[in-house]
Amino acid sequence: MLYLRLKRLIMNKRITGFSKLPKAEKISWLANTYFSDAKATKIILEQYWNSNEKLQQLHDEFIENTITNYYLPFGVAPNFLINNQVYAIPMAIEESSVVAAASKAAKFWLDRGGFKTRVISTTKIGQVHFMYHGHFKTLERFFERVKPKLFENAKPLTKNMEARGGGILDIALQDKTKDLKGYYQLHATFETLDAMGANFINSCLEQFAETLKKESLAFDDFSSNDEEIQIVMSILSNYVPDCLVRAEVSCKVEDLNEDEGISPQDFANKFIQAVKIAEIEPYRAVTHNKGIMNGIDAVVLATGNDFRAVEAGVHAYACRNGQYTSLSHAKVENGIFTFWIDVPLALGTVGGLTNLHPLVKLALELLQKPSAKELMQIVAVAGLAQNFAALRSLITTGIQQGHMKMHLMNILNQFKANDTEKKTLTEHFKTHTVTHNAVIEALEKLRL
């Protein structure tokens, strides 16, 4: 009986050739199959389609099976002084208080010397994973012979990148058999300049794999089936611990006080303790770093970069020593408070969406058309600013006071407050604590 019900369910909702249907037919099928009323179609067709047909077509062609657009707020955090230049940083994010917190931190440090940054390194990684069960010394001899051909055969792919100063930096043979029997890899390092470089790296790796396989078949010392190289896969790594940037702020301890109801020395001490807790307690470190990523992801997304790759690489970096820990650090030495972050960021300012999405172009123009290295520094600053703002709230007023005030408008919109109600309650909650229940009660009282 259950089997028959499941079979009917599959038959009712199964579709063949969905990707080939015109958009209108895709929407019609979804509406008839999954939605209970006409509102869904109206939302898709009327509220989020772009009236500019060319722009809508551009959005449609970014991915497959597009039915509409999904919008996120695009905000700006001004007053960022970074290496003696002033920036207004674009942020694409839906979470309340992120842009406000970044802006507040930027303003705080604007008169205290601003943010100082430097790129530590920009090396990116790609690997050819393969299996080999013969003698390692034989494989080593083969690798030394084939290594020049790996570079040579990739020349058509690297020519343009090399002309700009980038390319393949090195290719090394890695023995991983202690972890997995017969497992080896070609571990390649790359410099991709202003491009994030995923397509470039993957193309080079696939060429390496092809050369490796072809040359192995002609290598006389591989005399048995055990000495046959079996390519498993070729792919870049989003773990980029050598594509690293540092951002920091510092000032005299006495300059930290800004009417927070706490002395500058106590503020510095509590702040450092809060960071140290995140350094040794993984449960706290995850939330601590999530706050950093609020700032980082928002700028990465606004500038058309891959925030999923950045997230994966950053969190891997946070546990590189065997335990998940804080990305940021703080200290006081000789009366100077210093707060800094080292973060791996593989970013690009050319290629991908940077040349296609109009808002990405606008975001990069707003940032004065940065190079990839400059963008790394700006993004790291956004993460550090967000972390400073969060920790400052946590050790003084608590996180909810500021967060809930920013969340107030979301609650009012949820209960369809009109403009007059919004104005009245915004004024009311300037002097009252914002909670979900308090907003509902105040709104209901106003409507009596």
CATH fold label, 80-120+243-396:
3.90.770
Instruction: Check: CB of residue 296 under 8 Å from CB of residue 314.
Output: yes
Over the range 157-183, which residues count as b (16 or more CB within 10 Å of their CB) and which as e?
bbeebeeeebbbeebebeeeeeeeeeb
- Report pTM: 0.87
What is the sign of the dihedral through the CA atoms of 101, 307, 326 and 371? negative
- The letter for the amino acid at 188 is A
- The Cβ of residue 101 has, within 10 Å, a number of other Cβ atoms equal to 27
Instruction: Kindly state the helix (H) or strand (E) to which residue 151 belongs, with its residue range.
Output: helix 136-153
pLDDT at 226: 65
Task: State how far the Cα of 353 lies from the Cα of 306, in Å rounded to an integer.
Answer: 10
Over the range 112-129, which residues count as b (16 or more CB within 10 Å of their CB) and which as e?
bebbbbebeebbbbbbbb
pLDDT at 263: 92
Q: What is the pLDDT along the chain (448 residues), one digit of tens a residue?
A: 676 776 776 777 788 899 999 988 888 888 888 887 777 777 776 788 888 888 888 888 889 998 888 889 999 999 999 999 999 999 999 988 899 999 999 999 999 999 999 999 999 999 999 999 999 999 999 999 999 999 999 999 999 999 999 999 999 999 999 999 999 999 999 999 999 999 999 999 999 999 999 999 999 888 776 678 999 999 999 999 999 999 999 999 999 976 667 899 999 999 999 999 999 999 999 999 999 999 999 999 999 999 999 999 999 999 999 999 999 999 999 999 999 999 999 999 998 778 889 999 999 999 999 999 999 999 999 999 999 999 999 998 765 555 565 667 778 877 778 888 778 877 787 777 777 788 887 877 777 7
- The letter for the amino acid at 366 is L
Write down the domain spans for the chain.
2-60, 80-120+243-396, 124-236, 403-446
The CATH number that domain 124-236 falls under is 3.30.70.420
Any idea which residues carry the catalytic annotation?
95, 290, 306, 403
